[in-house]
Amino acid sequence: MFGFFKTGNLQKLYARHTGRKDMPPALARQLEVRGAYQPEALIANTSFVIFDTETTGLHLEKGDRLLSIGAVKIAKGRVHLGNAFYELIDPERPIPRSSIFIHNITPGVATARPHVSEILLKFLTFVDTAVLVAHHADFDMKFLNYAMVGCFGFPIQNRILDTAMAAAWIRGMEETELIHSKNSHDTRFDAVAAHFGITAQDRHSAFGDALSTALLFQRFINILNKNGVSTLKQLVRIADVP
């Protein structure tokens, strides 16, 4: 997983990186994430934030950066559409035409938006101490944590779960029960959503993909519960991002 530093280390990293000791409330709340994690809690009683990002491209090491973050919450097994998050970010670099074709975020729209540090603080306020969930989460977290470390000196501390990993576990269980399907090992979102009967919402927008992933994760919660996976600790064993 990406986070769970010692509290004192987080404070030192922040102070060393920014030259300030007074952490904004959203960052100070990150100091409490480790203590808030309750592995024996029931999945049904756990708060999740399901999120997605859009970026200027796929290659962080070649200068691609965040363009938007979208997220919705699941609490007590329900998707809360009235409590959602969506923000555009100024990437401070050109947006390739090939990327614009996918997400439709143009330079004229993006350059008028806030710096990534401002959006990260808003996102962390929205997330609080909840468990984060995304599809192929390692990609999104790579970009988020690059920005986090660059702005504040440390990565996001929340536990991260991956619906692609959960899908692989469930579909492996289906195969054990002799339920074979075409492309059963394909963890691309469209393939997984189609297999579990989820209609994708506004594909390749951060909010649309976050909502679609939330509906998928909601379906997974029900399937896992029927198969004896009821605690957060059990879910982490299946879908934790290493």
pLDDT tens-digit series, residues 224-234: 999 999 999 99
Return the structure tokens found at 138. Answer: 């390692």
pLDDT per position as a tens digit, 195-206:
999 998 788 899
Instruction: Please give the residue that has the higher pLDDT: either 157 or 109.
Output: 157
Average pLDDT over residues 59-78: 96
Asked if the 7-239 domain carries CATH number 1.10.10.350, the reply is no
Element (H, E) at 214: helix 206-226
User: Which position has the token pair 């004229």?
Assistant: 108
Cα 21 to Cα 10, 12, 99, 126, 153: the distances in Å are 11, 8, 39, 23, 12
**pLDDT single digits (tens) 138-159:** 999 999 999 999 999 999 999 9
Considering only residues 210 and 101, tell me which one the structure prediction assigns the higher pLDDT: 210
CA-CA distance, 134 to 49, in Å (whole number)? 9
What one-letter code names the amino acid at 55? T
Report in angstroms the alpha-carbon separations of 18 from 77, 128, 176.
39, 22, 52
Residue 119 neighbours by CB distance under 10 Å: 21
Burial 84-98 (b: 16+ CB within 10 A, else e): bbbbbbbbeeebeee
Q: How confident is the model at residue 242 (pLDDT cuts 50, 70, 90)?
A: confident
What pairs with residue 51 in β-bridges?
A: 71
Query: What is the structure's pLDDT at 109?
Result: 86
pLDDT tens-digit map of 172-187: 888 755 444 455 579 9
DSSP string, 41-106: SBGGG--EEEEEEEES-S-GGGT--EEEEEEEEEETTEEEEEEEEEEE---SS---HHHHHHH---
d(CA 170, CA 91) in angstroms, rounded, equals 37
- DSSP-derived 3-state class of residue 134: strand
- Mean pLDDT, rounded, of the chain: 92
Say if residue 1's pLDDT is above 50: no
Answer whether residue 74 shows pLDDT above 60: yes
Report pLDDT for 184.
57
The pLDDT-based confidence of 3 (bands split at 50, 70, 90) is low
Specify the pLDDT at position 6. 78
What are the structure tokens assigned to 141, written together? 């977290």
Read off the tokens for 230. Answer: 């009821």
Write down how long the chain is: 242
- CA separation for the pair 145, 12 (Å, rounded): 17
User: Does the pTM exceed 0.85?
Assistant: yes
